[in-house]
């Protein structure tokens, strides 16, 4: 019987992983390459492979074996994706599906580490020593994710949401729980290394890792208050902690963060970014306005479960039942004392992570919850699995309840995910995700326009990557303000205006990201007595203009 149980659970695991790969891997070249995908992995990886000079963020590099290696791609995002992308691009070439193979497989690793995290937690709660088999709750968790529109489409463009944080974060949770259960020093050292790697991938991993560390500490203190440091004679004892072990864990966690530390020793970029956004973020979020920010974040949880936020794929589709099914499962798990002990701490971890997400140096972007979605799924899955196990001991029609719940949830997710794929085939992606960028890069490359002047955000990195470095736009729009050109805009642009060979890239009216640059360009051209001529327009598949190419005569 045990062999049969292992076999069907393994079959379920393989089926869920296969479903994810099929749904996430279909038409991998669509939507178009987003700026963040190119900026945070593609361009630097392409430069390292082709031997071109590396355009490192803030110019911060370390020279190793004669190559200048970038340390970070943003003040709070490390260059991990750059280095992970290298073998994929070296083996398959420089292209969009080639680049997206990396996040696709990182999503697969995220599913596997989530299953291990859920199963390890249940083994710890049950005081079960030895090897941890695949659990029903773990299988339900990865199944809920494998078909979820949010998980599928975020991980297709995973660099866009820095999905490298997912497997690293959940590996840290899994190995941390394993250390608590088995007293394995290797597990603790590996957990510390995974946590450091997750933080290097993106600092927001701290939203999960910091609360997890706090809960482990509180659990430890609570156990110490128990007589003999055990709950029962069969309970798992506290792991042995020594100073050398703690120092080793600190070292293991610091090693992946060395590029981050070196970056800040050179630039102070992260420190300045956080310090300058403590009160109000770059995009205008008041970090002290907890009562205003909390409803936004809570609403985003429901949106992530429904999946109706991928407007840029060409439509909106939702699994409207998902939030209600999730709420019902959690409520059932919290009302009974037995599952409450299983669900309570994971749910508390979710709550603490949401509370941490109320602070941002950018905006309350829903994409931040790509990190928290597996945590939500794991917690809900624990409740559903308990409900099934509880009702199985009481034969009757109610046993169909958790099965029906799961079927309804998966049916809604699969329907929405397939509908998004249909929209994407038709639209090619919208706005900053449109495949119009492919045509723009092709036009510039094969018409010898190697140094266009980019007067808005979102054009430089995709064009450089798609042209394999043969086109290098010159960004002059300035990052100082989203709403108007800075005082130096005219000074930066004026030297280029008298050369008729220069071309200028602008977003079409209504598509601007950094406002005011378009009008300032035409005003400045008139002052220089130049006539602006529209040479080409690049549009979405539905005909809506996105990017314009201008020349001055």
Residue 510 burial (10 A CB sphere; 0-12, 13-18, 19+): exposed
Looking at the predicted structure, is the pLDDT value of residue 230 above 50?
Answer: no
The rounded distance, in Å, linking the Cα atoms of 94 and 55 is 17
* 0.85 exceeded by pTM: yes
Spatial separation of the C-alpha atoms in residues 186 and 245, rounded to whole Å: 10
Answer for the pair 52, 89: CB distance below 8 angstroms, yes or no. no
Q: Are 256 and 250 in contact (CB under 8 A)?
A: no
- What pLDDT is recorded for position 4? 54
Q: Is residue 227 scored above 70 in pLDDT? A: no
- In this prediction, residue 501 has a pLDDT band, given cuts at 50, 70 and 90, of very high
22/339: higher pLDDT: 22
Cis peptide before 355 (omega within 30 of 0): no
pLDDT of 1 reads: 41
DSSP assignments along 24-88, one per residue: HHTTTT-SPPPHHHIIIIIHHHHHHHHTPPP--GGG-EEEETTEEEESEEETTEESHHHHHHHHH
pLDDT of residue 223 exceeding 70: yes
Rounded CA separation 350/94 (Å): 38
Strand partners, 26: none
pLDDT at residue 234, rounded to an integer: 52
**What pLDDT digit, counting tens, does each position of 445-462 carry?**
999 999 999 999 999 999
Question: pLDDT for 91-124, tens place per residue?
Answer: 999 999 999 999 999 999 999 999 999 999 999 8
Of residues 365 and 339, more confidence is placed in 365
Segment 282-295 mean pLDDT: 87
């Amino acid at each position: 019987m045990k062999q049969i149980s292992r076999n069907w659970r393994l079959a379920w695991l393989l089926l869920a992983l296969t479903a994810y790969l099929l749904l996430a891997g279909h038409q991998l070249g669509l939507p178009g390459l987003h700026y963040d995908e190119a900026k945070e992995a593609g361009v630097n990886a392409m430069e390292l492979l082709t031997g071109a000079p590396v355009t490192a963020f803030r110019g911060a590099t370390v020279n190793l074996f004669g190559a200048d290696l970038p340390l970070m791609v943003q003040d709070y995002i490390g260059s991990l994706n750059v280095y992970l992308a290298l073998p994929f691009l070296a083996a398959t070439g420089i292209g969009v599906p080639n680049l997206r193979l990396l996040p696709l497989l990182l999503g697969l690793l995220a599913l596997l580490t989530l299953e291990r995290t859920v199963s390890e937690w249940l083994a710890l709660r049950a005081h079960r020593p030895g090897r941890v088999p695949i659990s029903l709750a773990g299988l339900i968790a990865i199944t809920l994710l494998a078909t979820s529109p949010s998980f599928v489409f975020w991980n297709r463009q995973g660099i866009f949401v820095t999905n490298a944080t997912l497997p690293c974060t959940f590996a840290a949770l899994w190995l941390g729980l394993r250390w608590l259960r088995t007293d394995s020093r290797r597990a603790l050292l590996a957990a510390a290394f995974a946590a450091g790697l997750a933080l290097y991938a993106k600092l927001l991993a701290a939203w999960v890792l910091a609360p997890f560390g706090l809960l482990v500490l509180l659990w430890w203190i609570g156990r110490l208050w128990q007589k003999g440091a055990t709950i029962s004679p069969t309970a798992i004892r506290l792991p042995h902690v020594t100073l050398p072990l703690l120092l080793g864990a600190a070292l293991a966690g610091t090693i992946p963060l060395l590029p981050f530390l070196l970056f800040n020793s050179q630039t102070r970029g992260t420190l300045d970014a956080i310090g300058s956004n403590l009160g109000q973020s770059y995009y205008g979020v008041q970090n002290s306005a907890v009562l205003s920010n909390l409803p936004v974040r809570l609403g985003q949880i429901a949106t992530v479960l429904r999946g109706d936020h991928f407007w840029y794929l060409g439509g909106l589709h939702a699994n409207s039942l998902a939030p209600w099914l999730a709420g019902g499962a959690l409520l059932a798990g919290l009302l009974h004392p037995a599952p409450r002990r299983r669900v309570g701490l994971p749910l508390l971890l979710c709550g603490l992570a949401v509370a941490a997400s109320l602070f941002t140096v950018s905006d309350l972007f829903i994409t931040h919850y790509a990190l928290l979605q597996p945590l939500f799924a794991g917690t809900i899955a624990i409740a559903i699995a308990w409900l099934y196990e509880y009702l199985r001991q009481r034969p009757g029609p109610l046993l169909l309840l958790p099965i029906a719940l799961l079927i309804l949830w998966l049916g809604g997710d699969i329907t929405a995910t397939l509908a998004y794929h249909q929209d994407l085939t038709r639209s090619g992606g919208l706005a900053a995700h449109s495949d119009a960028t492919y045509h723009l890069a092709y036009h510039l490359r094969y018409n010898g326009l190697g140094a266009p002047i980019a007067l808005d955000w979102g054009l430089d990195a995709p064009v450089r990557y798609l042209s394999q470095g043969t086109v290098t736009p010159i960004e002059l729009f300035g990052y100082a303000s989203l709403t108007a050109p800075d005082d130096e805009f005219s000074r930066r642009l004026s030297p280029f205006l008298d050369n008729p060979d220069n071309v200028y890239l602008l977003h079409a009216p209504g598509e601007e990201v950094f406002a005011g640059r378009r009008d300032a360009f035409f005003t400045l051209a008139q002052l220089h007595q130049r006539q602006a001529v529209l040479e080409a327009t690049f549009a979405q598949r539905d005909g809506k203009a996105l990017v314009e190419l201008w020349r001055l005569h």
